[in-house]
Chain A
Amino acid sequence: SQTIHQWPATLVQPVGSPLSLECTVEGTSNPNLYWYRQAAGRGLQLLFYSVGIGQISSEVPQNLSASRPQDRQFILSSKKLLLSDSGFYLCAWSVVTDTQYFGPGTRLTVL
């Protein structure tokens, strides 16, 4: 069966520090991968999606970036965090079908 992992689960970072969040999927090949952000009390915002290794599409211009170095690995990064980057970051995957499956999320607090 397929599983999706995200780490870390929780992160507290100072403003201006770098960021790296990782997402990996097991049990499937060539998935579409997605990064979402959920600000406190608000809905889901799609940040990036990828249909293959090295293929990244950005949905919202910002100081975040994404990379997909391996088929089942998706990384969200920032060189300098802003207070507004605080939120709950969710990774998701899908294959062929229309259904997305979500990871457990990473809670990021920028102080």
Chain B
Amino acid sequence: GNSVTQMEGPVTLSEEAFLTINCTYTATGYPSLFWYVQYPGEGLQLLLKATKADDKGSNKGFEATYRKETTSFHLEKGSVQVSDSAVYFCALYPSSSNTGKLIFGQGTTLQVKP
């Protein structure tokens, strides 16, 4: 079946540090891949997406590359800020789906200290 696995959190970094949050997936075919961010007390916001192998999604300094060979979609940012503190969710949309149902990872909490 389809699944998404994220690295355990919380991830604690100092401001301006480099960020990597690992995400690997299991799916047949070529799913679409997403990163969502949830700030405290809010709903999820789409951060970036990629729909085919080797695509790179990017937004607000965050990047993730769709790696079919390693079934991964790791989230990176070169220099984090305190305002990036949030929960990050990796998700996939199966290529065979017709309902729009996303498969989410368990979420990774990022804490950035000044």
Contacts and interface: CB of A to CB of B under 8 A. Distances in A.
Interface in A95-111: 98-105, 107
A104 B51 CA distance: 26
B41 to A, nearest CB: 8
Interface residues of A, number: 22
B60 interface: no
B73 interface: no
A101 B101 CA distance: 12
Given A98-B32, A104-B42, A43 B106 contact: yes
A65 interface: no
A34 B44 CA distance: 13
B100 A90 contact: no
Given A43-B105, A99-B49, A49 B100 contact: yes
A44 interface: yes
A13 interface: no
Given A51-B99, A104-B43, A99 B34 contact: yes
Q: Give the secondary structure class of B's interface.
A: loop
B89 interface: yes
Interface of A is mostly: strand
Contacts of B89: 43-44
B112 to A, nearest CB: 19
Contacts of A103: 43
Interface of B: 32, 34, 36, 41-46, 49, 51, 89, 93, 97, 99-102, 104-107
Interface of A: 6, 32, 34, 42-44, 46, 49, 51, 57, 90, 92, 94, 98-105, 107
Those 10 A-B pairs whose CB atoms lie nearest each other, nearest first: A98-B93, A102-B43, A43-B106, A94-B100, A32-B100, A102-B44, A98-B32, A105-B43, A44-B104, A104-B43
